[in-house]
Structures are given as C-alpha cells and as structure tokens.
Amino acid sequence: MASPAPAIRKVAVIGLGSMGPGMMARLARGGLEVSGFDIAEAARERATGLLSRAAAVLDALAIAPPTAGEGAIRIEGSLEETVAGADLVIENVPEKIETKAALYRQVEPLIDQAAILATDTSGIPITSLQAHVAHPRRFVGMHWSNPPHIIPMIEVIGGAATAPGTVAAVRGLIHGLGLLPVVIKKDVPGFVENRVLYALLRECVDLVEGGVIDAEGLDTVVRWGIGMKLAVVGPMRLLDMAGLDIYEAVSSFLNKELADRADVSPLVTAATARGRLGMKTGGGLFDYTREELERLPAERARALVAVRRVLESGGG
C-alpha cells in the first residue's frame, strides 16, 4: 500500500453526516490518524455505526488495514480535541457560506498556521470561501464523491489565493492513499463532477416533468444505456468512439431542444415543499418501505464495489 505524503499524518474531519464517516474510514486505511466531530450529538453517535459499515466495504475492496499503531480513528466530543495537532482539517458542514465561515473562525485559532484547511463543498467556489479565512494560501477544495470510501476520484481545487504547494500537498496525499486526484484548473461553481451531474439531472427531471417518460423508465435508460458506457468510456473518448461527425450532426439540431432552464423544476420544489426529501424522509420521487431503506444502501454499496473491481481489473 502506498504511503501518504509524510507531511500529513493527522487529519481532522468536521461534519459527520452522510460523507464524514466514509472519508474518515478511508483516510485511516491509509495509515493516517483521523479524528472526527459534529456539533450534533446524534450525528456523533450514528458515526460509529457508519464507520463499521464503511470498514466492511473497504475489506470487500481488499484495501488492507494499516499496520499496528497506525490508522487510529476517534470521534471527539469537542472541536478543540478534534483539531489538536492536525496537519489537515477537512470541513464537511452544510452548503451555506455563512455556516462554513463561522466554522473557519472557530477552527483557525486552534490549528497551526502551517496546517492545511480544506473544504468538501460540493460546488461553492473556493475563492468565495477563501475570503473568510485568515490564511488563504493554506486553504483548498477537496471534493470527495459520495460514497467517499468507495468512489476513488477526488477533485482538488485551488482558489485565487491558494498556494501551489497546498494543492500539491493535497494531491500527493490523495495519490499516496491509492486514490485518484484530479486537479481542477479553474475555480468554477460546481467544479467538474457536479456541473456534469447537474446538467444530466436537469435534462432527466425535465423529461419526466414533460411526460416524455416516467421516473422508473428514465432510470432504466440511464443505468443500462448511458451509465454502462460512461463507466467504461469517459465522455470525451465516447465522442471519439461514436465519431465526431455523428456528434456534430446530431448536436446541430438536438442542442436547441435540450433543457436550459435556470430555475429548479416544480417536480422537485413541490416535493420538497411537502417534506418529501428522498430516502432521508422515506419518500421523494419514489416511495420507500422501511425494509427498502434498510436494504438499499448495502445493496448499492455491493454493486459499486463490484463495478470498481471490474474497472480496476482492466475492464475499463
């Protein structure tokens, strides 16, 4: 197993929602000392179970546990305990600039000035967040993909004031963990993964809302059509595979027909207004039984593990 950059030995993860425990588990498997904290006691308590599930998935991926004395994981009861001695602090709190800025004001006096402060924001520009830190050269975007202990790609984004060495250190850490760092060259909202994903989701929601297809049929088309191909051949190579002349001909008329709405579809806003937020509330665009809510996460994790094994074996 490759070793992470020696300059980063202790990592603190702040925010233990759906992403934090998986991030912690994967970092610890790389031999790092990892501590985690959430302001909500319930989230701290739930994190223990999520860490165990993530560890089982990492075992299935044959990502070996670290040697004795390495890879310790702790859920702490305070922010001060969590960040003490940290070389890297990863902020993973809700997607509101004011919430993140308040955390940075709390964290920075508690950590060494040489420590790196990273954000796992899904799309807020790093430069916008950087305006709220005292040491912007040591501030960087480190966007994990959910579930973070299974998906090996991590986007690294520097803001206008981020030092090149900070980007290099985070990139080196990710590479040393055996993961796939992708350095984003321009700090644009949504970075790359979510810009591509949300463009796809906008078209999907528009097609369902317009009555072209129902939600189940849409998922079947994407999973067994586009999804299978894109897991093996990325979009730019897919253009070459299909033929640029074909793309030019089809896009010349189809681009005019694609959804370009700037608002959020009523299909989504009407559901959220009724408290239907998805699996977290037992229903969203689909309804879920209690049994499904317990079963589906594990099933999807197993499927993602299987896909990753195939891709890593050369099947991609």
In a 13 Å sphere around the CA of 216, the CA atoms on its Cβ side amount to 2
pLDDT band of residue 307 (cuts 50, 70, 90) is: very high
Identify the CATH homologous superfamily for domain 193-315. Answer: N-(1-d-carboxylethyl)-l-norvaline Dehydrogenase; domain 2 (1.10.1040.10)
What pLDDT, on a 0 to 100 scale, did the predictor assign at position 251?
A: 97
CATH 1.10.1040.10 domain extents, the chain: 193-315
Residues 6+ apart with CB under 8 A from 83: 12, 14, 35, 89, 107, 110, 111
CATH 3.40.50.720 domain extents, the chain: 10-184
pLDDT band of residue 315 (cuts 50, 70, 90) is: low
Bond from prior residue into 148 cis (ω within 30 degrees of 0): no
Q: How remote is the C-alpha of 187 from its chain's centroid?
A: 17
End-to-end Cα spacing for the chain = 22
Nearest to 38 by CA among 50, 30, 29: 50
Q: pLDDT digit string (tens) for 104-121? A: 999 999 999 999 999 999
Q: pLDDT digit string (tens) for 169-183? A: 999 999 999 999 999
What pLDDT, on a 0 to 100 scale, did the predictor assign at position 120?
A: 98
- What gap in Å lies between CA 76 and CA 16, rounded to an integer? 11
- What gap in Å lies between CA 313 and CA 316, rounded to an integer? 8
Residue 316 has pLDDT above 60, yes or no: no
Angle (CA) 184 189 194, round 5°: 75
CATH architecture designation of domain 10-184? 3-Layer(aba) Sandwich (3.40)
Whole-model pTM over 0.85:
yes
- What gap in Å lies between CA 206 and CA 261, rounded to an integer? 9
Cα-atom radius of gyration of the chain, to the nearest Å? Answer: 21
- What gap in Å lies between CA 51 and CA 46, rounded to an integer? 9
